[in-house]
Amino acid sequence: MKKRTRSSVRSMGPSGSSKISPHKNGIHPTAIIHPQARLDEDVIVGPYTVVDRDVTIGAHTRIGAHCVVEGHTTIGQECEIFTGAVIGSIPQDLKYRGEKSLLIIGDRNKIREYVTINPGTAGGGGKTVIGSDCLLMAYAHVAHDCVLGDRVVIANSAALAGHITIEDRAIVGGLVGIHQFVRVGTLAMIGGCSRVVQDIPPYATCVGYPAKVFGLNREGLKRARIPSASLGCLHRAFRLLFHSQLSMSHALEQAASETSDDCPELEHLLDFIRQSKRGVCRA
């Protein structure tokens, strides 16, 4: 990876007046790129965007106007970052004391207007991680020490507190608020305006204030091409876990008795619930 040179940044002339270098290699002449930032040769940076010293940006990534990318931030290839996004600013955590922490963003992500993403803290492992092929819609917030898997969708104005884990292909609706340390399982879907204070099980549809499980995310499972045998297995498990009079421990035992090598999705569901520390949303 070749980094940009000082010729592509705004600098000050001998008299102290502003001097703008010529537009070069996709970087707008009004953009301010720290000379030690590492940008691939074909990165595009829009007007008035600021890229700080410890930032690394991969090939074919496009950054729009008036964005700020700072901190120890790594952005992968073919990402699109839209107007006004603030990526890598220090955590909004009173315990943060300026320690080095990381923000790692994968490939082919779309980060829409005015999204904010914070790096990690020493108390949470020191890094925030976003996978690949994710969509973060306008005004979404991802706080410190969050971990997002691949193909996650965070809709407009959703807010993720610190230490949240969201597994692959989960969808978080608009204006959703998620409490710190909550986990959201694979292919789960959370309806808009929900308040999430406990773990959302994999493959579930949830909505409410607070959020409750309504059923199996059948449409999401079909789009993910989950085998029909697994759909039937999950449907029976959901009836036991969320729509029966059994306690969760007894429901887990009964659902586990139906586990087979042909249904890894059920095993993942049961393991997710067993590992919950905040408890799991119920029906």
Q: Which residues are catalytic?
A: 144-145, 162
How does DSSP assign 13-56, residue by residue? -TTS-EE-PPPBTTB-TT-EE-TT-EE-TT-EE-TT-EE-TT-E
| CA gap 147, 128 in Å, rounded | 6
| CA gap 120, 124 in Å, rounded | 6
| CA gap 70, 82 in Å, rounded | 15
Is-contact 151 168, C-beta < 8 A? yes
Is-contact 200 216, C-beta < 8 A? no
Is-contact 58 41, C-beta < 8 A? no
CB-CB neighbours of 245 under 10 Å: 6
